[in-house]
Structure 1
Amino acid sequence: MRVALVGARGHGARHVENLLRLGHDGTATFVGVVDVADVDVPVPAYPDLPSLAAELHPEVVVISSPPGTHRDLALSAFELGCDVLVEKPAALTVAEFDEISEAAAEHGLVCQVGFQTQGRGSYRRLCSLIGSGALGDISGIGAAGRWVRTDSYYERADWAGRQGEDGTLVNPFAHALQNALLLADVEERSDVVVELELFRCRDTITADDTACVRVTSEGAPPVVVATTLCAATSLPPVVLVHGSLGQAVWWYDDDKLTVNEHRMAVPPSVDLLENLIRHRQTGEPLVAPLAAARAFTTVVEQCGKADVPLLPARRTGDRVVLDGVDEVVVRAAEKIATFDELGCGFGR
């Protein structure tokens, strides 16, 4: 299938590499890119999607541009008759989510969201364990994200650190949130209740760099995701599934899963673009369909509207450290508790 890419810099560079790989394998034909800057790619570059489509006729458009552009680009791609793989967050509001969903249905096209960790073999194995009852009754899903980010992280793009488009739950730890919602089986629900605690330790940003969210829905286990970019030390993000027969620990970036401290064998990962292409060719189910991002989008929208107070933090060179946060985010995931309930000093 003929594939075009919108946004070839930053994370888009990974899509360039993947498209070249798929081209070498004969799975896809990488026809061109759209970018507002000059980019070093071995395919033609265009200033906008309609001009590219007029000459190159793509069948799939991969969107890896700033989050605020996703809605318009997805709608444009559907008008041009293209299926879409859009990076997360696909939409910044539920209204945008509905627009994209309705447009895809109207044109008979599909939209996959770039939650690549949903393609991990460890995710499929964990879903199987939960579904089979191997973990017993699930009492809660927790996730913890703890990274160190320097000032340069917020200089990488104009939208970096901007509330509504960025923030720990919306962008760097979006996978932690989405994965927890999926494992709680609330990803498509519109009746979720969202409790947010958002904070920032830099006065140069408006989005959070430290956050805790609890998502609840009737009949489903509660979800708590706690995150920070102001840690003293970085650790791989982790999802904890608390069951009456044991606990699963999933390091989604590393494709590693343990149950009651035993390492589990996992099947191979699935590439999202390959999966979308096979969906069109054979009917294979989409791994990360847009419909499965409804609850995630509800949280994203609320993050864009919430208060984000400034916390005093310790500056160390080109980064800031929120003392005590390293332990707190892990305890929140372990206890399925908010910052405030843990009495950590910066919760509400």
Structure 2
Amino acid sequence: MGPTDTTHTTPLPVVLAGARGHGSWHLANIRRLQDQGVVRLAGVCELHPLDETELAAFAAEPPEQSADFGSLLDSTGARAAVICTPIQTHAELALTAAARGVHLLLEKPPAATLTDFERILTGVRDAKIACQVGFQSFGSHAVPAVRALVRTGAIGTVRGYGAAGAWVRDDAYYRRAPWAGRRRIGDTDVVDGVLTNPLAHAVATALELAGSGAAHDIASIETELFRAHDIEADDTSCVRLTTTSGLPVTAAVTLCAEQAGEPYVIVHGDRGRITFWYKQDRVLVQRAGHGPEETVHGRTDLLENLVAHLTHGTALLAPPHRTGAFMRVVEAVRNAPEPAALPSGAWHTAPALTGDGTRRVVRGIDAAVAAAADTLRLFSELGVPWALPTEVSSP
């Protein structure tokens, strides 16, 4: 029985922690799955309860609400929880659920520090619960399709993996929450940088395609972190991981793009390349002796997959151990020197794409991001003028 089979009879009671912001996507997804009889929204954990308008889709059977996550799990008898709260709260909430035997869909990044991630791993293992990390791209059916192409030699010997993400975020993006764009709040690590949160999928998806998702799969990490916005964290950065098999995995990302584009991962072979636009589930194969071949694939929802795992034993698509390499990146970014502020001549302001605000645009960044994914080089190696030699290596 596959992960999208929903023939079980009792909807799984779910609590959602964090239902605003990105959490509103989870709220709508739970509604979709509730309509299919897969889950039931038993509770919502928010500091300030959702109002009738926010819960209009659940008006016929409104969920219980509380700011106390543990009490809510107890009173609702929830069997699973979706955690979509600020990064620095993930570990404690995940351990609260694990202590009660409640299964988890934990938003990315799973934790702000490697130590907290390891605490989550231990808590999940000791409680014998299922845990899924919210890298939705891992549910794309393109992932096994690309791996199959690589395995059968469609592009020859793999030389490396490149990822590119060029997004636009305006100044309001960093005003949406107290933790937005922060590296830490007081003594608490947050690590809300472009590599570790908004475009984390670019890094994690490249590692997943490379089959190097575990922490022990990484030999070294090099980071170059920059910022155009007046924030603590990075908004324009690149990272290169070297796997224990010797392959490079390079990701270059920005929130200061000239034009917003779809993020992608390239698998480089000595006889061709495969490009995977992971938000669109779209794959393009370009290889010697063949015309370009493009396919669009389906996708399995991670919450649906979690329920299928619990009811039918279907394998989890994004278990936490397969995000350990990504957490090594989070840790490298956390321990790196403060992101370098780009010189004023490197960026300019432009009107926000929506609303009355402004955004910061790094000149030439779209081409630099694409070139890094194409060549597997860091910004400094590409000769980008503002990429000063501040690279940090992490063994």
TM-score class, shorter-chain normalisation, is: over 0.9
The answer to which of 181-190 and 287-296 deviates more is: 181-190
Name the residue aligned to 2:349. 315
Q: What are the superposed Cα offsets for residues 119-139 of structure 1, whole Å, 9 maximum, x if unpaired? A: 112222112212222222110
| One-letter identity of the residue aligned with 1:222 | P
| One-letter identity of the residue aligned with 2:124 | A
Q: What are the superposed Cα offsets for residues 8-43 of structure 1, whole Å, 9 maximum, x if unpaired? A: 001111111111111110111111110012313232
Q: What are the superposed Cα offsets for residues 19-69 of structure 1, whole Å, 9 maximum, x if unpaired? A: 111111011111111001231323221111122122111000100001100
Name the residue aligned to 1:216. 242
- What is the percent sequence identity of the aligned residues? 40
Mapped partners of 1:171, 1:114: distance in 2: 11
| One-letter identity of the residue aligned with 1:212 | C
Name the residue aligned to 1:15. 26
Name the residue aligned to 1:277. 307
Q: What are the superposed Cα offsets for residues 186-212 of structure 1, whole Å, 9 maximum, x if unpaired? A: 211334311000001122x10001001
| One-letter identity of the residue aligned with 1:202 | H
Name the residue aligned to 2:263. 237
Q: What are the superposed Cα offsets for residues 133-158 of structure 1, whole Å, 9 maximum, x if unpaired? A: 22221101001111121111111111
Q: 1:195 aligns with which of 218, 222, 225?
A: 222
TM-align CA RMSD: 1.3
| One-letter identity of the residue aligned with 2:386 | F
Q: 2:317 aligns with which of 278, 287, 293?
A: 287
Structure possessing the higher radius of gyration over alpha carbons = 2
For residue 91 of structure 1, report the CA deviation from its aligned partner. 1.2
Paired residues of 1:185 and 1:220 also in contact (CA < 8 A): no
Q: 1:145 aligns with which of 147, 152, 165?
A: 165
2:302 is aligned with 1:302: no
Mapped partners of 2:204, 2:221: distance in 1: 14
Matched residue of 1:234: which SS? coil
Paired residues of 1:192 and 1:295 also in contact (CA < 8 A): no
2:369 is aligned with 1:329: yes
Paired residues of 2:253 and 2:369 also in contact (CA < 8 A): yes
For residue 266 of structure 1, report the CA deviation from its aligned partner. 4.5
Q: 1:46 aligns with which of 53, 66, 88?
A: 66
Q: 1:267 to 1:149 in 2, by over 3 A?
A: closer
The answer to which of 71-80 and 228-237 deviates more is: 228-237
The answer to which of 120-129 and 62-71 deviates more is: 120-129
Name the residue aligned to 2:149. 129
Kindly tell me the number of residue pairs found equivalent between the two proteins: 347
Mapped partners of 1:113, 1:132: distance in 2: 29
For residue 181 of structure 1, report the CA deviation from its aligned partner. 1.0
Mapped partners of 1:158, 1:333: distance in 2: 32
Name the residue aligned to 1:253. 279
Paired residues of 2:215 and 2:323 also in contact (CA < 8 A): no
Paired residues of 2:64 and 2:76 also in contact (CA < 8 A): no
Q: 1:172 aligns with which of 184, 198, 214?
A: 198
Please, what TM-score do these two structures have when normalized by structure 1? 0.96
Paired residues of 1:226 and 1:332 also in contact (CA < 8 A): yes
Mapped partners of 1:331, 1:55: distance in 2: 53
Paired residues of 1:186 and 1:220 also in contact (CA < 8 A): no
Name the residue aligned to 2:187. none
Paired residues of 1:159 and 1:165 also in contact (CA < 8 A): no
Mapped partners of 1:220, 1:97: distance in 2: 25
Name the residue aligned to 1:227. 253
Mapped partners of 2:342, 2:107: distance in 1: 30
Name the residue aligned to 1:29. 40
Name the residue aligned to 1:106. 126
Name the residue aligned to 1:262. 292
After the TM superposition, which residues 78-97 of structure 1 pair with which residues of structure 2 at under 5 Å, given as runs? 78-97=98-117
Q: What are the superposed Cα offsets for residues 220-278 of structure 1, whole Å, 9 maximum, x if unpaired? A: 42001001111111111111110122100111111110101634434421010110111
Q: 1:156 to 1:263 in 2, by over 3 A?
A: farther
Please, what TM-score do these two structures have when normalized by structure 2? 0.85
| One-letter identity of the residue aligned with 1:218 | T
Mapped partners of 1:32, 1:165: distance in 2: 29
Matched residue of 2:161: which SS? strand
| One-letter identity of the residue aligned with 2:360 | V
Mapped partners of 1:76, 1:267: distance in 2: 36
Structure 2 gap segments, 5+ residues each = 1-11, 184-189, 352-357, 390-395
| One-letter identity of the residue aligned with 1:66 | P
Structure 1 gap segments, 5+ residues each = none
Name the residue aligned to 1:6. 17
Mapped partners of 1:251, 1:100: distance in 2: 30
Mapped partners of 2:220, 2:102: distance in 1: 34
Mapped partners of 2:82, 2:215: distance in 1: 26
For residue 95 of structure 1, report the CA deviation from its aligned partner. 1.2
